[in-house]
Amino acid sequence: METIAERLKSVQTTIKQSTLKAHRPSNSVKLLAVSKTKPVSDIVQAYEVGQRLFGENYVQEGIEKIQALQDLDDIEWHFIGPLQSNKSRLVATHFDWVETIDRLKIAQRLNDQCPENKKLNICVQVNIDSDPNKAGIKVEELNEFIEAIVIMPNLCLRGLMTIPKGQQSPEQQQHSFGKMADLFNALKLKYPNIDTLSMGMSGDMVHAINNGSTMIRVGTAIFGTRNQTKESNAT
Ligand SMILES: *Cc1c(COP(=O)(O)O)cnc(C)c1O
């Protein structure tokens, strides 16, 4: 069995090699360690070898970990799960980023509930393959949606996020990631401050990096197969 530190190192090597191969700057891809269903002690192991960005999918579980680790105050916490409006205040209060924005009502609530002197970083989730089983804004609706988001004073638009359809061929994956890159580059012309294209997971990070991802979200390849939790069973 490899340790978390060893697996993390191997993911970092993959990132390094893929960015090099894609002729991209070596520091252009960030690694979000997705720790959902994993205990605090796993997060600490990753932290001890330098990992600082962590992603959680379930509100209650995420907040318990954030509170348990509040002394490690240089961790950046990303919420990457589906968000119900009755939990938006908790997320606005405890997380640094929300990557799964796809409804104006939720964005508005997060904006209104954001604590004073805090700005919540957000990514708009795009349903790039028009997959009926996936969350996210339709491509045709993206521009209008973004225009409504950017005027919300307590939210800071950082970019786009996607989860492509599962079970695709490598060619189809490349195609989906390529479409995301086009959307991201077009958006960047209009909003030069955005810097995040969050795409790529354990199984497809190389293709994602090859197509311009600036943040990969990796769970299994770092922490191993996921445990079940009460919350993950419920959703
Ligand atoms: C669980 C999850 C990941 C990590 O997936 P792995 O395949 O375990 O790397 C990435 N992004 C989102 C949105 C997730 O829910």
Kindly give the distance from the C-alpha atom of residue 164 to the centroid of ligand 1, in angstroms, as a whole number.
11
The overall average pLDDT reported for the chain is: 95
Q: Ligand 1 pocket, 202 CB below 6 A?
A: yes
Q: Which of 30, 78, 80 to mutate to test the pocket of ligand 1 (most atoms within 8 A of CB)?
A: 80
Residue 148 lies in a domain: yes
Contact predicate 41/13, CB 8 Å: no
pLDDT at res. 1:
73
Share of the chain above pLDDT 90, in %: 92
Q: How many angstroms from the chain centroid is the CA of residue 210?
A: 18
Residue 232 lies in a domain: no
Q: Domain limits at 100? A: 4-223
Distance CA 220, CA 213 (A): 19
Residue 228 lies in a domain: no
Residue 40 lies in a domain: yes
- What confidence tens digit (pLDDT) does each residue in 43-70 have? 999 999 999 999 999 999 999 999 999 9
Distance CA 36, CA 31 (A): 15
Residue 229 lies in a domain: no
Kindly give the distance from the C-alpha atom of residue 219 to the centroid of ligand 1, in angstroms, as a whole number.
6
**Which whole number is the average pLDDT over 25-45?**
97
**Structure-model confidence comparison of residues 167 and 154, the more confident one:** 154
Q: Ligand 1 pocket, 201 CB below 6 A?
A: yes
**Which whole number is the average pLDDT over 20-43?**
97
Residue 202 lies in a domain: yes
Share of the chain above pLDDT 70, in %: 97
CA dist list (Å): 101 to 106, 161, 164, 204: 7, 9, 16, 22
Q: Is the pLDDT of residue 159 over 90?
A: yes
Token pair of 137, please?
A: 């804004």
Count of structural domains within the chain: 1
Q: Ligand 1 pocket, 168 CB below 6 A?
A: no
State the pLDDT confidence band at 226, using cuts at 50, 70 and 90: confident
Q: Which of 78, 201, 205 to mutate to test the pocket of ligand 1 (most atoms within 8 A of CB)?
A: 201
Beta bridge partners of 155: 120
State the pLDDT confidence band at 229, using cuts at 50, 70 and 90: low
User: Which of 70-84, 132-146, 163-177, 194-208 is least confident?
Assistant: 163-177
CATH of the domain at 173: 3.20.20.10
Kindly give the distance from the C-alpha atom of residue 95 to the centroid of ligand 1, in angstroms, as a whole number.
17
Instruction: Identify which of 125, 64, 63 has the alpha carbon closest to the alpha carbon of residue 92.
Output: 63
pLDDT at res. 235:
44
User: Which atom belonging to ligand 1 lies closest to the Cα atom of 221?
Assistant: 9
Q: Ligand 1 pocket, 7 CB below 6 A?
A: no
Q: Is the pLDDT of residue 18 over 90?
A: yes
Kindly give the distance from the C-alpha atom of residue 86 to the centroid of ligand 1, in angstroms, as a whole number.
23
Distance CA 153, CA 20 (A): 37
Query: Where do runs of H (alpha helix) occur along 79-158?
Result: 88-94, 104-113, 142-149
Distance CA 76, CA 53 (A): 5
CA dist list (Å): 200 to 34, 97, 147, 182, 216: 12, 17, 26, 16, 5
Going by alpha carbons, the residue nearest to atom 7 of ligand 1 is: 202
Contact predicate 82/100, CB 8 Å: yes
**Which whole number is the average pLDDT over 137-146?**
97
